[in-house]
Structure 1
Amino acid sequence: MQDPIKTLFTECIQTQIAAADMLHEPIEAACGLLVDSLLQGRRVYCCGEGLAHATSRHFAHIMLTGLSFERPPFPVTSLHADYGALDYDRMFAQQIQAVGQANDLLVVFNASARAPRVSRAMEAALGRNMLIIAITQSSDEDIAGLLGPDDVEIRIPTYNTARASEHLLQIANMLCSVAEHQIFPQETE
């Protein structure tokens, strides 16, 4: 019988290897969309389904405060998860309807198969002609079908929610790091 901790490390490593092979192009496309949005002065909103909302908040935090070096804040807002809302399933969508503008960017995070609140936010974003970056995993049932030709999906190659959650955080950090270095290349010298 294999050690359960070693098994978890092995799963993590296998997911990392699969992600490195599969996700380079979609991450590069997402970084391009994010950087273009920031350079054009558009707003960036983000949200996550369930536990992935913590990754959304982390992403907004590092985009505002900086990840690799001190810099001006990027206009990124994590949508508020008001669990006492009267219409809980529409809590993100209502915020997008209130503040989203054409060509703003919505970044969504989901580590599980279902994402009812995030998919409703995406529908609201589509109604506002916003662009979308969706970071999902292999069993996603709600998000991929909502993406348009100018949107980007980063589909983490796993059905395991824990492995997907680990990669959500890693990809959030990658997006921020690449954006910082592309917008402020002088800081990398």
Structure 2
Amino acid sequence: MQEPVKAIFTECIQTQIASADLLQEPVMAAAELLVDSLLRGQKIYCCGESMAHASARHFAHIMLTGLQFERPPFPVHALHADYGANEHEAIFSQQILAVGQPNDVLVVLSAGNRAPRVSRAMEAALSRDMLIIALTNDGDQDVAGLLGPDDVEIRIPSRNSARVTEHLLQLVNMLCSLAEQQIFPQEESY
């Protein structure tokens, strides 16, 4: 019984190593986009497809309340996923169309191959001249094709949705930590 457990740990570690090699530049670019937007007074919205929505909500929570130290809240809002909506796939896009402003940022997370609700939100953000940060994976078929030259993609080097979901949580924690360090450099960050 120990071999399957060891195999899962090994796969996690391998994905971590590949991520450390591949994702440094896009993570820094995403952090810089977040910081620039926050310092200009823009709002940040986030959502995720399926299980990735929990990581999007976590991101909004830590950006509001602080991750490493007490600080003023950042204006970050998790889009709600009300399954009672008339058109399920439009739930995020309707919210972006209602509140999104030019140069606001939409952070989208996807752990699977398909992301219809997130894709529609991205289309709405593009129509509002918003910027997009996309956390995707090697199996993505919907999200990356909607990104423009000023947007940032952080593509997790895995197709395994469990490994991708683990990394989404790590990446949103990292983005919040980097934003806090850059906006409040005088605070103790560790």
Where on the TM-score scale, by shorter chain, does this alignment land: which range? over 0.9
Which residue of the partner structure matches residue 162 of structure 2?
162
Number of equivalenced pairs: 189
Which residue of the partner structure matches residue 27 of structure 1?
27
Q: Deviations over 1:117-143 (max 9, x none)?
A: 000000000000000000000000000
Which residue of the partner structure matches residue 83 of structure 2?
83
Give the whole-Å Cα distance in 2 for the aligned partners of 1:156 and 1:17. Answer: 11
Where 1:186 maps in the other structure, the secondary structure is coil
Alignment of 1:102-181 (within 5 A): 102-181=102-181
Q: Deviations over 1:90-134 (max 9, x none)?
A: 000000000000000000000000000000000000000000000
Q: Deviations over 1:70-96 (max 9, x none)?
A: 000000000010011110000000000
Which residue of the partner structure matches residue 69 of structure 1?
69
8 A contact 2:69–2:188 mirrored in 1: no
Q: Cα distance, 1:188 vs. partner?
A: 2.8
Letter in 1 for 2:42: R
Give the whole-Å Cα distance in 2 for the aligned partners of 1:173 and 1:27. Answer: 11
Give the whole-Å Cα distance in 2 for the aligned partners of 1:129 and 1:183. Answer: 25
Please list every run of 5 or more consecutive structure 1 residues that lacks an aligned counterpart in the other structure.
none
Where 1:54 maps in the other structure, the secondary structure is helix
- Percent identity between the two aligned chains: 71
Give the whole-Å Cα distance in 2 for the aligned partners of 1:60 and 1:33. Answer: 16
Where 2:177 maps in the other structure, the secondary structure is helix
Where 1:175 maps in the other structure, the secondary structure is helix
Where 1:129 maps in the other structure, the secondary structure is coil
Give the whole-Å Cα distance in 2 for the aligned partners of 1:84 and 1:166. Answer: 28
Give the whole-Å Cα distance in 1 for the aligned partners of 2:41 and 2:131. Answer: 14
Give the whole-Å Cα distance in 2 for the aligned partners of 1:19 and 1:83. Answer: 33
Alignment of 1:42-61 (within 5 A): 42-61=42-61
Give the whole-Å Cα distance in 2 for the aligned partners of 1:87 and 1:98. Answer: 15
Which residue of the partner structure matches residue 38 of structure 2?
38
Where 1:159 maps in the other structure, the secondary structure is coil
TM-score (norm 1): 0.98
Give the whole-Å Cα distance in 2 for the aligned partners of 1:2 and 1:64. Answer: 40
Q: Cα distance, 1:2 vs. partner?
A: 6.7
Which residue of the partner structure matches residue 100 of structure 1?
100
Which residue of the partner structure matches residue 7 of structure 2?
7
Q: Deviations over 1:46-72 (max 9, x none)?
A: 000000000000000000000000000
Where 1:55 maps in the other structure, the secondary structure is helix
Please list every run of 5 or more consecutive structure 2 residues that lacks an aligned counterpart in the other structure.
none
Letter in 1 for 2:135: I
